[in-house]
Structure 1
Amino acid sequence: MNGMPLENPRHRIAVLADQCVQCGLCLPVCPTYALDGNEAESPRGRIAIAAALAREQISPTPELREPLDHCLGCLSCQRVCPAGVKYEELLVETRGLLGPATERPGLLLGVVKRPGLSRWLLGLARLTRATRWLGRLLPGGSHGPWRAALTLIRGRPGPHPGPPRPNRSGGKADTVAIFPGCAASVQDADAERAAETLLTAAGYRVTRLPAFCCGALDLHDGAIRSAEAAADRIRQAWAKVDADHLVTVTPGCLSTLRQALPDVRVDDPYRLLAERVDQLSFHPLPARVALHMPCTQANVARSDAVLVQLLQRIPELELKRLPAPPYCCGAAGSHVLQFPERAAQLRESVLSQVDILDVHWLLSSNIGCRLHLAAGLDERASSLPTLHPLTLLAQQWIPS
């Protein structure tokens, strides 16, 4: 699914690793290197491990693969690499060679990847307040995946826009298909409604694909067969819709969607909205907000500047962007469940920056990041609301 020769993945890994010139420019932007100060926990350290594994110079012991499992896949290193190392491909191929880690929370991820089941369980948990008493049943010092999952699903629902209005722009409108995803279709339903509202207001016709997992969780955990099955499902779903563009409100899905549909324009909604921004007007909002830029939005979607421009269209809004890498929140797909203590350490660095800014809202466009940050705020007994940027834009949108 990466356009790689599957018949010899070891050779492919070695070729990718040989592109690294060991310059070290990746070190200052690597969150795990900043956390540990350990060469093995840096991009070039992981590249060296991957190369040695591919050439069968070393055996994949648990201690040796741990730095590879710790990698967040933020791709800040790939963005600054002067040699053009394809680090994402290298990481995915190496994890595929090793297979999923034994500590991978497969049961929890199975629930997350099934939106219908996840929605039912989430509704039941909130109705019965089960997250509270289940949390009390776990050992006080427990920091395992189940406790991490419980903290994440205590999400605080935010405001949501009304139903989209019909497109009255006249003429032929481009059709945009929204990919709901798995966790996003449940926990970010407000943002998806907001995307539909704004895209319709901008003159696009909007349709939806079914809600299912794009395969990113499996792909980055080394479960290649499951990831390939998800890619096939994406292609089948896309073939059934008549659309010009595919968008997702969660940038964590972008890479796998683009790999599955290389000939389709796949993006987050911001670029499409920016192309017709003159059709959108917004109510003033005299507030100060912090903007957390998920790594995937900055390094995969690369739409961070466009998002900032859209938010600046809201009159009187004071926008404070959180610092760039190595400040990663630590959510990173299944990383927050598999390594909750490390994820909490990384999150603390981000929240300390939020404290400095003294804001009224915290915005983040990736559902995993926002749930993780909201859980950290809850632990601090903070009432700071977290919101998807699209939800805020739709909330301030002036219907014509």
Structure 2
Amino acid sequence: MVASSEDQNNNSLIEELLTEADRCVACGLCLPHCPTYHLTYSEADSPRGRIALMSGVASKRIPLNKKFIQHMDRCLTCRACESVCPSQVAYGRLIDDARTLIHKQGFSVPQGAFSKNSKLRNFVERELFAKPARLDKLRPMLRLLIGSGLLAWLLRRNKLRKNILFQSLPFLTMRNLPGQVWHRVYPAKAALRGEVALFLGCVARMIDTETLLSTIYVLNRLGYKVHIPNTQTCCGALHQHSGQMDMALKLAQQNIHAFSGLNIQAVIHTASGCGVQLTEYASRFGVELPVPTIDINQFLAAQDWSEITFAPLPKKVAVHEPCTLRNTLGAAEYLYTVLQHIPKIEVVALPGNNRCCGAAGTYFLDQPEFATVLRDEKMQAWEQTAADYLVTANIGCALHIANGVAEKGRKIEVLHPVTLLARQMRIK
């Protein structure tokens, strides 16, 4: 009997998982760096323990049950373990493969209306995140809900108040939600240095257009023509980390098509989570964007700023390093480099930057208890710095941390470094 293509794909997935899992020598050097092991001190919530569980399920020595799924779902995919692994085990790939196995089996652990495999979650990921042009049309409605106070009123009076996603929205400022229509090209406002494209993402283009507009402004002022292809879509990270590998590949192919044929030297991203996904298209799917992808901070750090004048900012700025920027892209240092262009600024690292803030894509929705504990650690770290601003380079981290700041009644703005640069450039 000839195996079906689906069976062949499953067998290939299991073989890949077992081969990579066998590379783990169980040395345990990863354990002190794992945020969830730090919280539970359970072997099953450590990278070493999870790899053992994956191997057991893939080889059918142990069942794929809700307990297994719980330990896989508790993983933040921060990949801190990868950065210290002497065997260079591709843990990020392993956890994605494990979640793909779970998804193919149709298992889920219900945790509310926006949990994995819920109808609402699947609708949002399929019809909004995968088709982000629709998000642009929804933004005016979100402006109305927030600006009128209607969303806050609804949260006080119905079950939405228990949903972490909706709880976060009132803390957004109207500055982040302009009625923006994206142009295909934004011309340089100085002597032309080159041409780049900007990856918008899905979440940022909905609720953080200030960062995207600031990026365009800064690049234009530096002499770069910025292209924004209107057929670009979600990077696919949310789908991939939920085990929807086929959809993630489809989105990757759509983005590759969108950015092909442009006269550009790089694709710039402002969210490090998206950046990792774009960068790893080749290793994950065997396809890649036509030009290199680069984080905006790293790109700006290499530029000549001699013609740009900044207004002084005599304030202390704490830098949060997203896991994706620190552990995977290896570009956290550029956060500090670009901010130093602002006169009189005091830039300090947020204590505990080696540990995840708990946002981790949709983790703060799926595992709110763990996510809140990890975020509270960041709140304590910020209080140690007494900083006036907190900057981070990932929209998920910014939203999660800003929610924590608001809950505690603190007055500190959480924003992207490029936004701070743009503000000081605009001040005459």
When the two structures are superposed, what TM-score results if normalisation uses the length of structure 1? 0.90
Q: Which runs of 5+ in 2 are unaligned?
A: 1-8, 111-115, 282-286
Q: How many Å separate the matches in 2 of 1:347 and 1:277?
A: 36
Task: Supply the AA of the counterpart residue of 1:153.
Answer: L
Aligned pair in 2 of structure 1 residues 191, 92: CA closer, same or farther (>3 Å)? same
- What is the deviation of 1:323? 2.6
Residue 191 (structure 2) aligns with = 169
Q: Partners in 2 of 1:16 and 1:324 — Cα distance?
A: 30
Q: What residue is the counterpart of 2:26 in the other structure? A: 22
CA contact (8 A) 1:33 1:39 kept: yes
Aligned equivalent of 1:129: 149
Amino acid at match of 2:30: C
Residue 249 of structure 1 is matched in structure 2 by 270
- Work out whether residues 143 and 174 of structure 2, in 8 Å CA contact, stay in contact via their aligned partners in 1: no
Higher relative contact order (CA 8 A, sep 6+): 1
Q: Percent identity?
A: 32
Answering whether residue 293 of structure 2 is matched by residue 266 of structure 1, we say yes
Cα distance in 2 for residues equivalent to 1:358 and 1:7 = 53
Alignment deviations for residues 136-177 of structure 1 (CA, whole Å, 9 cap, x no partner)? 23469x75xxx101122123328689x98734325xx33110
Contact persistence 2:270–2:296 (CA under 8 A): yes
What is the aligned counterpart of 2:255 among 234, 239, 249?
A: 234
Residue 84 (structure 2) aligns with:
80
State whether structure 2 residue 399 is matched by structure 1 residue 379: no
The partner residue of 1:224 within 221, 230, 245 is 245
- What's the offset of the Cα at 1:240? 4.7
* C-alpha contact (below 8 Å) 2:315/2:388 kept by paired residues: yes
The code of the aligned residue for 2:395 comes to I
Residue 275 of structure 1 is matched in structure 2 by: 302
Q: 146, 156, 164: which one pairs with 2:172?
A: 156
Q: Which shows bigger deviation, 290-299 or 323-332?
A: 323-332
Query: Compared with structure 1, are the counterparts of its residues 109 and 240 closer, same or farther at alpha carbon in structure 2 (3 Å cutoff)?
Result: farther
2:100 corresponds to which of 79, 82, 96: 96
Contact 1:363 1:387 in 2 (8 A): yes
Q: In terms of mean alpha carbon deviation, does 260-269 or 343-352 score higher? A: 260-269
Structure 1 pair 328–246 and aligned structure 2 pair: CA distance change class (3 A): same
Query: How many aligned residue pairs are there?
Result: 389
Aligned partner of 1:61 in structure 2 is 65
Q: Deviations over 1:53-106 (max 9, x none)?
A: 111111111111111111111111111111111111111111111117343155
Aligned pair partner of 1:341 in 340, 353, 369: 369
Q: In 1, are the aligned partners of 2:20 and 2:89 still within 8 Å (CA)?
A: yes
Kindly report which structure 2 residues correspond to 1:291-306, keeping only aligned pairs within 5 A, or say none. 291-306=319-334
Amino acid at match of 1:37: Y
How many angstroms does 1:131 deviate by? 2.6
CA distance 1:183–1:125, change in 2 (3 Å)? same
Q: Deviations over 1:232-286 (max 9, x none)?
A: 2111211253322001111110122121525531111122212213344422110
Asked if residue 10 in structure 1 is aligned to residue 14 in structure 2, the reply is: yes
Provide the residue aligned with 1:185 in structure 2. 205
Question: Distance in 2 between the 1:212 and 1:368 partners?
Answer: 17
Deviation at 1:201, TM superposition (A): 2.3
TM superposition shift of 1:23? 1.4
Q: Do the aligned partners of 2:99 and 2:241 also contact (CA within 8 Å) in 1?
A: yes
TM-score (structure 2 length as normaliser) = 0.84
Deviations 1:330-354 (A, max 9, x none): 1111111112222111100111101
| 1:289 corresponds to which of 295, 304, 317 | 317
Aligned with 2:69: secondary structure? helix
Counterparts of 1:213 and 1:183 in 2: how far apart (Å)?
9
User: Partner of 2:6 in structure 1?
Assistant: none
* 1:120 Cα deviation from its structure 2 partner: 4.3
**How far 1:33 sits from its partner (Å)?**
1.0
* Corresponding position of 1:332: 360
Alignment partner, residue 311 of structure 1: 339
Structure 1 residues 127, 217: CA separation in 2 closer, same or farther (over 3 Å shift)? Answer: same
Cα distance between partner residues in 1 of 2:61 and 2:11: 20
**Which residue of structure 1 lines up, in the alignment, with residue 420 of structure 2?**
392
Does the 8 A contact of 1:293 with 1:365 survive in 2?
A: yes
Which amino acid letter does the alignment assign opposite residue 166 of structure 1?
A
Counterpart CA distance in 1 for 2:138 and 2:123 is 9
Return the alpha-carbon distance in structure 2 between the equivalents of residues 336 and 291 of structure 1. Answer: 21
Paired letter, 1:270: N
Residue of structure 2 in register with 1:107 after alignment: 120
